[in-house]
């Protein structure tokens, strides 16, 4: 990845970077200049269909910084759509808020003009081209039905268990990434609580982890839940973080792969068994 230039964004300089032939901007910079919560905007983008495959997390060394750091990037193609979906009252900077509101008004007018302009005359197709289109459409339909059937089997297999622990999930889907690095990412993204060294002090002077270390955070509850019960072996009560089985497990895989993780497996161990 190479930073290629910067551009003016409502009076602020934004770094433009390139990866795989595509151009990206740093969401953190955009949010910082407008006074928006970057974590909230990341979660909002993760829910948008038009943003799928258009965001990533990678190392970027900004001008003036001494080292490369993990940055959340968004494709320049969706910046306009992102701006159009911002609730302008949340923008702290008055100048930026005014410019975004003006952009939203202009975009609304442009979309109206595009939707209402006269349609161009359709291109006539010969019989061979039409037949090929029909065959391709049928092939696509059959393939889609096969994928849907496989997906239903996959979800049914996942839903038949109590959910994987984070460690089991890591081994099942992202084994190429070291376990420590994997958990560091979950903590850094605010999916699990990080209470390392925040508990009580031991007799030898070391400090225990906090009682809720590794528990699902508020943001992480869409993917994780806290399983609790009484151990049949010891009789003690236990609490264990698990990945929510079913669609949330698949959503977590999708969430992480879209942020630069490389999945090494696409089926749970229950399905593969």
User: Taking 60 as the threshold, does the pLDDT of residue 208 lie above it?
Assistant: yes
Confidence of residue 166 (pLDDT cuts 50, 70, 90): very high
Q: How far are the Cα atoms of 59, 148, 174 from residue 158, in angstroms, in the given order?
A: 33, 15, 17
SS3 119: coil
pTM: 0.41
Q: From the CB of residue 244, how many other CB atoms can be counted at a distance below 10 Å?
A: 20
Instruction: Give CA–CA dist 106/116, Å, rounded.
Output: 16
Which structure tokens are listed for 23? 């151009």
Flag the least confident range among 51-65, 140-154, 167-181, 198-212. Answer: 140-154
User: Taking 90 as the threshold, does the pLDDT of residue 262 lie above it?
Assistant: no
Q: How far are the Cα atoms of 143, 172, 207, 254 from residue 147, in angstroms, in the given order?
A: 6, 21, 50, 16
Confidence of residue 271 (pLDDT cuts 50, 70, 90): very low
Which among 153, 171, 162 has a CA at the least distance from the CA of 243?
162
User: Taking 60 as the threshold, does the pLDDT of residue 267 lie above it?
Assistant: no
Which structure tokens are listed for 249? 């497990």
Q: Provide the pLDDT for residue 121.
A: 53
User: Taking 50 as the threshold, does the pLDDT of residue 58 lie above it?
Assistant: yes
Contact 230, 239 (CB under 8 A): no
Instruction: Give CA–CA dist 83/225, Å, rounded.
Output: 33
List, for residues 73-131, the tens digit of each pLDDT value. 889 888 888 888 888 888 887 887 887 888 888 888 888 888 887 666 555 556 666 66
Q: Taking residues 175-184, what's their average pLDDT? A: 89
CA angle, corner 249, sides to 246 and 251, nearest 5? Answer: 110
């Amino acid at each position: 990845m190479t930073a290629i230039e910067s551009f003016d964004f409502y009076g602020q300089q934004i770094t433009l970077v390139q990866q795989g032939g595509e151009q990206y901007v740093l969401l953190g910079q955009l949010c910082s200049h407008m006074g928006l919560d970057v974590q909230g905007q990341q979660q909002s983008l993760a829910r948008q269909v038009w943003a799928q495959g258009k965001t990533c997390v990678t190392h970027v060394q900004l001008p003036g910084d001494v080292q490369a750091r993990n940055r959340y990037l968004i494709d320049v193609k969706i910046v306009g759509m992102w701006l159009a979906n911002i609730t302008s009252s949340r923008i702290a900077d008055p100048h930026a808020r005014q410019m975004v509101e003006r952009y939203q008004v202009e975009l609304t007018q442009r979309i109206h003009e595009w939707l209402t302009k006269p349609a161009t005359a359709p291109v006539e197709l010969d019989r061979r081209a039409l037949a090929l289109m029909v065959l391709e459409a049928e092939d696509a339909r059959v393939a889609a039905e096969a994928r849907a059937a496989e997906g239903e089997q996959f979800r049914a297999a996942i839903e038949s268990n109590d959910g994987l622990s984070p460690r089991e999930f890591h081994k099942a889907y992202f084994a190429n990434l070291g376990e420590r690095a994997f958990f560091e990412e979950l903590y850094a993204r605010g999916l699990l609580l990080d209470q390392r060294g925040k508990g009580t002090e031991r007799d030898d002077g070391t400090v225990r982890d906090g009682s809720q270390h590794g528990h699902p955070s508020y943001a992480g509850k869409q993917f994780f839940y806290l399983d609790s019960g009484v151990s049949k072996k010891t009789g003690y009560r236990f609490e264990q973080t698990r990945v929510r089985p079913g669609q949330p497990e698949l959503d977590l895989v999708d969430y992480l792969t879209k942020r630069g993780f490389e999945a090494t497996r696409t089926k749970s161990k229950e399905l593969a068994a």
